[in-house]
Amino acid sequence: MAVCAAIIGKDNSSKFFVTLNPDEELHFQYKVLSSLDIIEDKLATGTKGGADTKELYLGMLLSLETYKIYGYVTNTKIKFVIVVDSTNVVLRDNEIRSMFRKIHSEFADIVSNPFYIPGEPIISKNFTTSMKNIMTGTV
């Protein structure tokens, strides 16, 4: 079960942010923001390799005392970040990977919505619930 998920745009501005506990949002913002550095690093090194078979999943970005942060970058440089409680041993790499894939497809749906202006923060009840479902693993 992830505790926080974020979608960060091309310009590194937060497009969507959801936490299981809404009171902790600011707390997580700080963590996610700091993990962007690592994403950038990973991207910088990653681009040197073959661009064709690019792996979107970035793996674990940060492992803090209480949380683990995972990252994922789409081809259009949209970043997905998931924060997981470090005590959680059920979620392994594969689960995180599939979580990201689900988020990606949800995000693709949102972007396909003609009423969504790309680059704007995502405000959608539907999306939030489906993200929460992905986070809690009920999907």
Partner 1 sequence: MAQCKQSPQEFIKSAFTPQIAVMCTPLAEKCCQKNNLNFIELLQPFCRLNNDVTYKDRGLTNTIRNLKLTFLDISWRPPETAVARKLLNYSVTNAPESKPKLFTIGNHQLDIPTNTPWFESWRETFLKVQYPSDHEFTKHFLACIMVVSSSDINPEGTFEKLSQSLNYVQNREPGKLPKWFNSNILRYYVVLHDNVDGDINVATKIFETIKVSYGFSYCFLLKLNSRSPNSGTSEHLPDPWSQFINTPIDLKEYKGSPDNSIMKTSLEIGQEAEEFKTTVNYHPLSPVNEDVTMSGHISDDEKPQKAAAKQKIHGSCLSTDDVEQVKLFIYEFTKSCLMPYIEKQIHSLSDIVLNKKGVSKSLFSATKRWFSPNKPGASSIAVNNLIYSPDSPELQIRRLGDLYFMFGQYSSAFKAYHSAKREYDTDQAWLYYAGALEMASLAAFMANESTRKTCEYMEDSIITYQTNCKMPQFATRATILSSECLKHQNMFGEAAHQLIRMTSEESDLRSALLLEQASYCFLKSKMVRKYAFHMVLAGHRYSKAAQRKYSLKCYKQAYQVYENTGWDLASDHIHYTIGRQAHNLQQFNEAVDSFAKLLLGESKQTAQQQATFLKEYLTILGNKLKSEGDSEQITSPVLPVPELEMNSIKLLLGPTRPLSTPGKIPALGINFGNAEDVQAEQKWIKLEEMLVHEAEGSPPLLFKPMTTLYTVNKLGKNKPVAIVNEPIQVSLKLINSLQTVLNLMNIHLLWTFSNDNETVSNEITDKIDYVKTYVTKSLLIEGNSNQEVILSLAPLQVGTITITGFCYTLTSSNGTTGASSIKGKQIIVVPESTSKNNRSNTTKPLEINVVPAAPCLQVTFSEMHTDFLVNELQKVLVTFQNTGSVPLQNVYMATSVPHLFCNCEFKQETNETVNMNDLSMPNVRDKVLRKNHLTSVPLNGKVLEPGQTVPIHIWVKAPNSKGPASIDLLIYYENVVKTAIPRYRLVRHNWNLMVQESIIVDVSTQASHNSKTVEELALAMKITNLNKVHNSVLTQITLLNIGLLSKYWTLTKDIATPKYINLHSQESAHILLKAKRLVKNTSEYSTVPLNADRKSIQNMSKQFLAFAKKSEKPLLTMFDDFDSLHFKENKDGILLLQWQALVIEDSKKRIVCGQTNIPIEINRKDENVIQMERILSDTFIDINDKTITEEETAQSAQKQISYNLIHPPVIVHDFREKKVCIVPVKILLHSIVDSKVLMVTVNTTDPSVKLPTISKSNQTCAYASSKFCWLSNSKIIKQIHPLTTESVELSAALSGPGTFDLGAHIQILCKSVDSDPLVLQSCQIHPTLIVKNKDS
CB of 116 to partner 1, least distance (A): 15
| The one among 25, 85, 95, 109 contacting partner 1 by CB under 8 A | 25
Under rule CB under 8 A, residue 17 binds partner 1 = yes
Residue 13 binds partner 1 (CB under 8 A): yes
Cβ–Cβ < 8 Å for 79, 39: yes
Q: Print the binding letters for residues 72-111 with partner 1: x by CB under 8 A, - otherwise.
A: ----------------------------------------
Please tell me whether residue 40 binds partner 1 under the rule CB under 8 A. Answer: yes
Should residue 121 be labelled a site residue for partner 1 when binding is judged by CB under 8 A?
yes
Burial class (CB in 10 A: 0-12, 13-18, 19+), 138: exposed
Helix (H) or strand (E) holding 81: strand 79-85
Our finding on whether 12 is near partner 1 (CB under 8 A) is yes
> How far is 73 from 80, CA to CA, in rounded Å?
6
The single residue among 37, 49, 77, 139 that binds partner 1, judged by CB under 8 A, is: 37
User: For residue 88, what is the DSSP state?
Assistant: -
Contact 111, 118 (CB under 8 A): yes
Interior angle at CA 10, CA 73 and CA 48, nearest 5: 55
Q: Is 29 in the site for partner 1 (CB under 8 A)?
A: yes
38 binding partner 1? (CB under 8 A): no
Computed on alpha carbons and rounded to an integer, the radius of gyration of the chain in Å comes to: 14
Contact residues for partner 1, defined by CB under 8 A: 11-15, 17, 23, 25-26, 29-30, 33, 36-37, 40, 121
